[in-house]
Structure 1
Amino acid sequence: MKRLTQALALLMTMALPAVAASEPLTDTLAKIDETGIITIGYREGESPFSFEAADGSITGFSIDLCQRIVERIRVELGRDDIAVTYVVATPATRFILVKSGAIDLECAATTNNAERREMVDFSYPHFMTATHVMTRRADKIDSLQDLAGHSVASASGTVNIEQLNALNREQNLNIAVIPTKSTAEAFDMVVSKRAAAFVTDGILLAAKIAELPDPSLYALSSYTLSRSEPYGLMLKRGDTAFRTVVNDTLSSIYRSGEINDIYAKWFTTPIPPTGTNLNLPMSADMVEAFRNPTEYQD
């Protein structure tokens, strides 16, 4: 009897590592497995990262990356039937949607910084840019100081409007800062001459200007309001298992070289809906970020 008890105890001990290795799904992955749905946040008009095409499909550079993450999740869960639901996430609503779990992954152009990491988590960087200013060339606004006394639009909930407000206070520029609900609304204010300038990420401004009937009428500032900072895919804070799947997928895309084709599709070849070519080769910062993917810490 004693030998039988010892044998049973040995078998139980041997079984423990296997049980520990098979950890239960938690948080986002468990939710996706239970519902059969992954919910992705996107922008309606943030080309080339995230936008709604003329046929109603959701597309863009960030979306392409997230679609590959969805494929990886299907494999991880052993479920080919995992469906994707897209939800609009504006600059003003995106953090609430992620924190509340209304969206599982925000796939757009959201800057990763220390303040935001107090609320949410970010994936490895997938782009880098700085804050620039768009103006009408005819107005001959060549510096931040030239904006003194003018109206300047910027989307609520962005780091760009925070940077603009800070510089406005520090330099006593008397700029009338106009918060908008979206980048599209702020852009339209400059085109319609309701604002002298629009402040946001340089890459987003370049894409918007390139889509205009006559881009030569508008200028993108050579000066910046910030240093270059990374975009990251945004997810719920503290969900280590889900973040690991997201980052492992990106790391595989980056290290395999697949990122080169995805990048070229959106930044160095014509893109829908206008066939605009941004002609933007990968920067040295981006080459390094893709060569050695790591979590950004500023």
Structure 2
Amino acid sequence: MKRSTWTGLLMGVTVGLLGLSIPSHAQEATSTLDSIRERGEIRLGHRLSSIPFSYLDEKGKVMGYSHDLAMHVVEAIRGRLRQPDLRVEMVPITSGNRFRLIKKGEIDFECGSTTHNTTRAREVAFSTSIFIIGTRLLTRRDAGISDFDDLDGRRVVTTAGTTSERLLREMKEGHASGLTLITARDHGESFLTLETGRADAFMLDDALLYGEVAKSTHPEDWIVTGTPRSFEAYGCMLRKDDPDMKALIDDTLRKLMASGEAERIYTRWFMRPIPPNNLNLNFPLSTSMRELFRTPNDKPFQ
């Protein structure tokens, strides 16, 4: 066989192989809604101990403010796909693995207590904001800590992978060089570190700190204090570059806010007794939250 013939055959094989690679690229570009339709199941990420946003009750059932919002999104997906009995697989996530699970497609979305900021938005997408918080401190009433200036020489715990960890490291490199930073796997472990005396204060989002007080044995022993070091917006997290999924989640959340249902869900979790100890967080809707419900947006604070 002539050399030119071999060359032509090799080029044909190469082109054929390149053509075979096209479906894999197309598969990578499949939207979340298409993936849900194909597998017949929604994979919803949830937190284990982010009270009152997304956590487990005594029987292992997922509940919370963010989870209630997520279930409205689930119903919207069922309606869009015309599959009212579409299954939901509840996938537990942590601060450390949530971004990886979204990017790998192991969860379709999550609504918990994930801060939307510009750095994270380079890797994943965020919905219309669902909550606005300030990062503060939880400490014993008699600890002698009232603000962040009191932390030099103290042991401060926070949950690994959170914005509070970054802020504490910045503080340690700055004026509070005597601060000892402790990180824990999740919010429950962080509070246990504080409760057992291995830390003097626990830094986190204020609403989550109130949640830890709510599940403590002696809530009267604790106080949330300090001038917020940052204000942050929570959003539901989803895969980047998936406009159909984002539009569905955003539309669902905006309708909940416009109808007043979002505020009713807020009242249930922040102004009434909640599991596990039936303590009322007594955390009224802030001015920032009222403005969010009035004019929903997906803008990060940083």
TM-score w.r.t. the length of structure 2 is 0.87
Find 1:198's aligned residue among 185, 195, 202.
Answer: 202
Instruction: Please report how far the alpha carbon of residue 196 of structure 1 lies from its aligned counterpart in structure 2 after TM superposition.
Output: 1.1
Structure 1 partner of 2:236:
233
Find 1:151's aligned residue among 147, 150, 155.
Answer: 155
Question: 2-side partners of 1:204 and 1:268: how far apart?
Answer: 14
Moved more, 150-159 or 206-215: 206-215
> What is the total number of aligned residue pairs between the two structures?
273
1:230 is matched by which residue type in structure 2? A
Sequence identity, in percent? 36
Asked if 1:215 corresponds to 2:222, the answer is no
What is the correspondence of 1:103-142 to structure 2 with a 5 Å cutoff?
103-142=107-146
SS in 2 for 1:294: coil
1:109 is matched by which residue type in structure 2? S
Find 1:48's aligned residue among 52, 55, 60.
Answer: 52
Over 3 Å counting, the alpha-carbon distance change for 1:222 and 1:152 in structure 2 is closer
SS in 1 for 2:274: coil
Q: Which runs of 5+ in 1 are unaligned?
A: 1-24
Question: 1-side partners of 2:169 and 2:85: how far apart?
Answer: 47
Asked if 1:283 corresponds to 2:286, the answer is yes
Asked if 1:294 corresponds to 2:282, the answer is no
1:34 is matched by which residue type in structure 2? E
2:238 is matched by which residue type in structure 1? L
Find 1:82's aligned residue among 69, 83, 86.
Answer: 86
The 8 Å contact of residues 137 and 147 in structure 2, kept in 1 or not, is answered as: no
The 8 Å contact of residues 42 and 89 in structure 2, kept in 1 or not, is answered as: yes
Structure 1 partner of 2:38:
34
1:27 is matched by which residue type in structure 2? S
Partner deviation per Cα, 1:177-208 (whole Å, 9 max, x = no partner): 11111111111011000111111101111121
The 8 Å contact of residues 26 and 241 in structure 1, kept in 2 or not, is answered as: no
Find 2:270's aligned residue among 249, 267, 277.
Answer: 267
Over 3 Å counting, the alpha-carbon distance change for 1:107 and 1:174 in structure 2 is same
SS in 1 for 2:157: strand
Question: 1-side partners of 2:174 and 2:45: how far apart?
Answer: 35
Question: 1-side partners of 2:191 and 2:268: how far apart?
Answer: 24
SS in 1 for 2:116: coil
The 8 Å contact of residues 127 and 298 in structure 2, kept in 1 or not, is answered as: yes
Question: 1-side partners of 2:60 and 2:41: how far apart?
Answer: 20
The 8 Å contact of residues 190 and 202 in structure 2, kept in 1 or not, is answered as: yes
Instruction: Please report how far the alpha carbon of residue 213 of structure 1 lies from its aligned counterpart in structure 2 after TM superposition.
Output: 2.6
Find 1:250's aligned residue among 243, 250, 253.
Answer: 253
Question: 2-side partners of 1:222 and 1:152: how far apart?
Answer: 13
Structure 2 partner of 1:182:
186
The 8 Å contact of residues 128 and 230 in structure 1, kept in 2 or not, is answered as: yes
Instruction: Please report how far the alpha carbon of residue 296 of structure 1 lies from its aligned counterpart in structure 2 after TM superposition.
Output: 1.0
CA RMSD of aligned residues (A): 1.4
Instruction: Please report how far the alpha carbon of residue 223 of structure 1 lies from its aligned counterpart in structure 2 after TM superposition.
Output: 1.7
Structure 2 partner of 1:17:
none
Structure 2 partner of 1:63:
67
Question: 1-side partners of 2:160 and 2:273: how far apart?
Answer: 30
Structure 2 partner of 1:19:
none
The 8 Å contact of residues 233 and 300 in structure 2, kept in 1 or not, is answered as: no
Question: 2-side partners of 1:253 and 1:159: how far apart?
Answer: 28
1:184 is matched by which residue type in structure 2? G
Instruction: Please report how far the alpha carbon of residue 92 of structure 1 lies from its aligned counterpart in structure 2 after TM superposition.
Output: 0.8
Partner deviation per Cα, 1:265-290 (whole Å, 9 max, x = no partner): 11111111211111222111111111
SS in 2 for 1:168: helix
Question: 2-side partners of 1:150 and 1:260: how far apart?
Answer: 38
